[in-house]
Amino acid sequence: MKPRVAFLSAPHYCEYIKQLMQYYGFNFNDLCDLDFYEYNLIAELPELYRRIYDQYDGFCVTGNFTKELILQLTSFSGKPIQSIYAHSLEYFKEFFYLVNENRSIDFKRVVTDFSLWLGNRTSLPIPSNVDEFINVNRRFADLQTQLLEYVSTDDILKAEQNIITNASALFAEGNADHIVCRFATAYRKLQEKGIPCSFVYPASDTVVDTFQLLISDIRLAQMDSDLPAVLYVTSDALLSDGLTSINSNNLSIQQSLLEFDQENTAGLVIRQAPHCYEIYTTQQIVKNITDNFTNCRLRAFIFSRTGIETQIGYGIGANVMKARNNASAASKIAQRNHKSYLINQSEALVGPLEASNSTGNTKEVTPGILQAASDSRLSLSTIQRILSATEMLGTKELTTQDLASSLQVTAANANRFLNTLLKSGYAEIVSEKKSYSKGRPSRIYKILL
């Protein structure tokens, strides 16, 4: 059965992809069932994604920033999603077209749209004209990836208006002749205002590669649905009495587990273990009973039937042993916080799983977290992931390697996160860890969040 894929973008971008498929004879229908969804404002995207989420196996959007917006503003992040993002070569091709149309064009007066909406919101060097852009010592796609750590949801939502406002000001002041645009929903608005502009569409190879990668991700996700999963159900009532004692608490929890299994036709294998119930199942079942890894329905069900508070640690792994290890680690965090958590096959912490609208892999957004994201210029999701990593490690004192392993990122990225928090006052160096090799000692950072 072919996977169902939704392509979400501005109307002109959807039309371009359709024309590209027809012109080059790309038959994506051999790979998937592809539908197109149009939106006119970036703010419309999260709700559109929520509305169609259950209908598709994977999603394709245009631009890394739109993908980040979906991940930050929706709780539906369990299905594969890929973005068609900018490559420097595609900009250079557009510059060539401009030269071919007007040999006297002054590229110092050609402005790229990404320099119009970020402004001074990041300390990274952003090219403000074509000369600087060509001399930038990195691919633009790499620059985008780095900028994602500094761009907030609010920045993305304001992007269209910032581009229009700043472009209008440049032309009113006589400081620009042309805008080279890649922000799809801003492009039409520039045209409507009569501002000379052109859009950088992706090359055919970029489009094909992105769709093939998405299809591959969907197939892997479908294979992963059969990964083993283990649940540890604990409670203060069980810790005090132990499962060897026959009492009302044990019997009540056991009965509620059996009833939950029957009502959800989950096929759970329930086993008694010292001070907890150990449950064996698959990742797909866990995905179903947690509303796509966002909501611990089992914990709510037990409380509704017994009035007993429980904590549940979910573990998913490549084999049963790894799933048990991850469940054990998640259970320790769950008991410490009196909530439910999941550790997936990549050993990434997800949770707390508390409400149907909670966001997987994030913490509750408090004013302190929002302030830290604003002050440090790290994205909200990065701040939340760092806090989740400290919970998984059981300490707020960690090294660069500790953070890199917990977040599944490179040591260079983890080091950048920690130094950014250090400079903004949300971390401090408390000591150093001696290395047994010839390398330099590792700094131990204390996270002040």
User: What is the tens place of the pLDDT at every residue in 138-195?
Assistant: 445 555 555 666 667 777 888 889 999 999 999 999 999 999 898 999 999 999 999 9
Residues with Cβ within 8 Å of residue 147, at least 6 apart in sequence: 118, 122, 124, 126
Q: How far apart are CA 296 and CA 44, in angstroms?
A: 29
Q: How far apart are CA 18 and CA 122, in angstroms?
A: 36
**Pairing of the two strands 397-398 and 349-350:** unpaired
The reported pLDDT for the residue numbered 246 is: 59
Of 413, 444, 449, 441, the residue nearest 429 (C-alpha):
444
Does residue 356 surpass a pLDDT of 70? no
Q: What is the mean pLDDT of residues 41-69?
A: 89
- Return the amino acid letter for 360: G
Does residue 362 surpass a pLDDT of 50? no
The residue ranking higher by pLDDT, 115 or 82, is 82
Position 242 confidence tier, pLDDT thresholds 50, 70, 90:
very low
Domains of the chain, first to last: 4-86+204-223 (3.40.50.2300), 88-199 (no CATH), 226-350 (3.30.70.270), 367-447 (1.10.10.10)
The reported pLDDT for the residue numbered 140 is: 53
Q: What is the mean pLDDT of residues 356-384?
A: 67
The reported pLDDT for the residue numbered 413 is: 76
The reported pLDDT for the residue numbered 179 is: 92
Of 209, 181, 183, 215, the residue nearest 195 (C-alpha):
181
Q: What is the mean pLDDT of residues 376-395?
A: 80
Does residue 76 surpass a pLDDT of 80? no
The reported pLDDT for the residue numbered 199 is: 93
Does residue 31 surpass a pLDDT of 70? yes
160 within 8 A of 42, measured Cβ to Cβ: yes
Does residue 205 surpass a pLDDT of 50? yes
Does residue 364 surpass a pLDDT of 50? yes
Q: What is the mean pLDDT of residues 42-61?
A: 91
Position 18 confidence tier, pLDDT thresholds 50, 70, 90:
very high
Q: What is the mean pLDDT of residues 193-216?
A: 90
Of 258, 69, 71, the residue nearest 154 (C-alpha):
69
Q: What is the mean pLDDT of residues 418-425?
A: 90
Does residue 408 surpass a pLDDT of 50? yes
Does residue 239 surpass a pLDDT of 80? no
Does residue 137 surpass a pLDDT of 90? no
Q: What is the mean pLDDT of residues 293-304?
A: 88
DSSP states along 11-41: HHHHHHHHHHHHHHT--GGGT-EEEEEE-SS
- Most confident range (mean pLDDT) of 130-139, 172-181, 246-255, 406-415 is 172-181
> Tens digits of per-residue pLDDT, 98-107?
888 888 888 8
The reported pLDDT for the residue numbered 129 is: 55
Does residue 91 surpass a pLDDT of 50? yes
The residue ranking higher by pLDDT, 225 or 350, is 350
Q: What is the mean pLDDT of residues 248-254?
A: 82
**Average pLDDT score over the chain:** 81
